Structure 1
């Protein structure tokens, strides 16, 4: 019997956690021996709940294990245990490391490149969407893998941005990999697999999907990554749970600033005040890693390639100089009527050069 099969067997038994497996392993040494223990020897295990011992005895059979493996085979799901060579190196030493991981796709990419996590709001603004897609794409073009949770919002746009680059994207699920949630992102999960990415989860095919799964998976998102980038988050956003895990694991934390009047910026501004590195461009991120400088690389929009009139250029330069501006402020600075300014802003939005963040406030699309 392979070592990973013992972990598969134990983790499928109700009530057995990663910590329980570690306790058993600490006591018996070679955990593969457990499958050959007598019922009496199992009941003599120390510091293990009686109900768990009873379940181990009840499900200690090759037929039970073979049934689990058959279910995984039918769904084309692979699995690795914490001692496998393919198991993510960065994940092995975190607190409560998953004893076993289920996956679909190319799991080798996790150990063969730089992984950066991107997380944020499930209800992002247009500004947040633009940041997530642009920054993930630029990082991907440098061969960096993007890790996220396949959730609606910033997670999804981070995966999408990466798919449009050359890097690979890694989706960490709070459900089984044969049942990617939310259902709206099944197409995206398939696209990740078609582009040599990977879906991973610590939950098997018979696991219940409960709310705590999605907060628990955040420790894996940060655990397999070298750093976490928060794109947009409210003050009590779930994305900040990932930040807490990242700090506990000694990972870099980055945050993209936003409009001071937007609730979706409060979380990012909070962690910037607490020490997260403020990100204006990807140079701020890659400076923390051993990556060749891209200062000479043309990042962002190339306005010279688009035919714009003088008034359009004036407004672009104004926003670039002043940052986010409301339409009334633009009118005052430029000295134009609001009707004309509104027409220009609509044109610039069509060119994807500016975005409306909220309440007729505009910023450059990075």
Structure 2
């Protein structure tokens, strides 16, 4: 039996992890012969849990492997093993690299694209949502693919921003690719695939989903990426687990600063203090990798390139100075009647110069 088949067979058996496979490889001469071992030889394997040995014996047949392959085919799920040329090189040297990756979509994106990960809170503020979508879309339009985890919140908006741009987005799941979670994002996973993107997981079809799956997959998110951007994260955010993996893997870490009074900014501010690169716009990211802008489609977001009258410029400069302002404050500071302010703000929103964060509070579009 070929090694690819052995890996697929073992990974489909309950209890068998990548670490289990490594232990088996360390204890026998050729793992390709494992399926031909007698029951006694399998029970004599060292450092393997008895329940796992029992499961290996139970499913030790070519018919079981063929059944797994048939299920994969019926669900349009493909797989690539660590010993195969299509396996992403970046993952080979990370801690506990997955022996098998299951996927739907274009696996070549992992090799031909320059990809950056974006992670953050599952319950972001309107500021965080705006940052995630804007940064992701602009990076996408400059040829950078976005990798995230398909979770609610920042993950979702990072994928969506990339979909609005010109590059492809990649989702790394903590469940099987046949069972994208959360269920609310099944539509988003369909959009990613329809756009030519990629969904992948180290977990096979029909796999049980455990809470630790989602923290484990973070090593893959960072491992596949050139760097990691954190957009809004509290001190105990799972996004900081991805940061730890990124640092362990020698990857660049970026963070979007936030409101100093917000709990959702504490995690980002901590990693900035610890050495993460503070980003205010995508040039802070592109310059770090000496990337040249591929598409300058967002130039009209720079108010210096748009002809504005004095009142419009006054409001732009005021919002820029304060960071964000409620419409009432804009009226107070400018002395302009609210009916005119509303019209001006609508116009500036149409020009993508500002964005309404919530309850008539406005900030500049990044």
TM-score with structure 2 setting the length = 0.91
Counterpart of 1:289?
289
Counterparts of 2:241 and 2:361, CA distance in 1? 29
- Asked whether the equivalents of residues 148 and 172 of structure 2 are also in contact (C-alpha less than 8 Å), the reply is yes
Counterpart of 2:199?
199
1:280–1:343 Cα change, 3 Å = same
Counterparts of 1:24 and 1:226, CA distance in 2? 32
Q: 1:68-87 to 2 correspondence within 5 Å? A: 68-87=68-87
How far off its partner does 1:73 sit?
A: 0.8
How far off its partner does 1:341 sit?
A: 4.4
How far off its partner does 1:343 sit?
A: 5.8
Counterpart of 1:42?
42
User: For structure 1, which runs of at least 5 residues remain unmatched after alignment?
Assistant: none
- Asked whether the equivalents of residues 283 and 295 of structure 1 are also in contact (C-alpha less than 8 Å), the reply is no
1:167-187 Cα offsets, whole Å, 9 max, x none, are: 211110111111212222222
Counterparts of 2:292 and 2:81, CA distance in 1? 35
1:136-158 Cα offsets, whole Å, 9 max, x none, are: 12211222111011112211121
Counterpart of 2:147?
147
Counterpart of 1:28?
28
Q: 1:77-156 to 2 correspondence within 5 Å? A: 77-156=77-156
Counterpart of 1:250?
250
Q: 1:1-366 to 2 correspondence within 5 Å? A: 1-292=1-292, 299=299, 301-303=301-303, 309-327=309-327, 329-336=329-336, 341=341, 344-345=344-345, 347-349=347-349, 351-357=351-357, 361-366=361-366
Which SS does the other structure have where 1:192 is aligned?
A: helix
- Asked whether the equivalents of residues 80 and 100 of structure 1 are also in contact (C-alpha less than 8 Å), the reply is yes
- Asked whether the equivalents of residues 173 and 181 of structure 2 are also in contact (C-alpha less than 8 Å), the reply is yes
Counterparts of 1:174 and 1:296, CA distance in 2? 35
Q: Which moved more, 1:328-337 or 1:173-182?
A: 328-337
User: For structure 2, which runs of at least 5 residues remain unmatched after alignment?
Assistant: none
Give the CA RMSD over aligned residues: 2.5
Counterparts of 1:290 and 1:365, CA distance in 2? 24
Which SS does the other structure have where 1:199 is aligned?
A: strand
- Asked whether the equivalents of residues 116 and 147 of structure 2 are also in contact (C-alpha less than 8 Å), the reply is yes
Counterparts of 1:315 and 1:225, CA distance in 2? 39
Which SS does the other structure have where 1:104 is aligned?
A: strand
1:340–1:169 Cα change, 3 Å = same
Q: Which moved more, 1:308-317 or 1:194-203?
A: 308-317
How far off its partner does 1:330 sit?
A: 3.7
Q: Which moved more, 1:291-300 or 1:21-30?
A: 291-300
Number of residues paired by the alignment? 366
Counterparts of 2:135 and 2:281, CA distance in 1? 8
How far off its partner does 1:210 sit?
A: 2.3
1:124–1:173 Cα change, 3 Å = same
- Asked whether the equivalents of residues 117 and 229 of structure 1 are also in contact (C-alpha less than 8 Å), the reply is yes
Q: Which moved more, 1:102-111 or 1:118-127?
A: 118-127
- Asked whether the equivalents of residues 141 and 294 of structure 2 are also in contact (C-alpha less than 8 Å), the reply is no
- Asked whether the equivalents of residues 127 and 365 of structure 1 are also in contact (C-alpha less than 8 Å), the reply is no
Which SS does the other structure have where 1:178 is aligned?
A: coil
1:174-214 Cα offsets, whole Å, 9 max, x none, are: 11111212222222212211222110011111211222222
1:115–1:158 Cα change, 3 Å = same
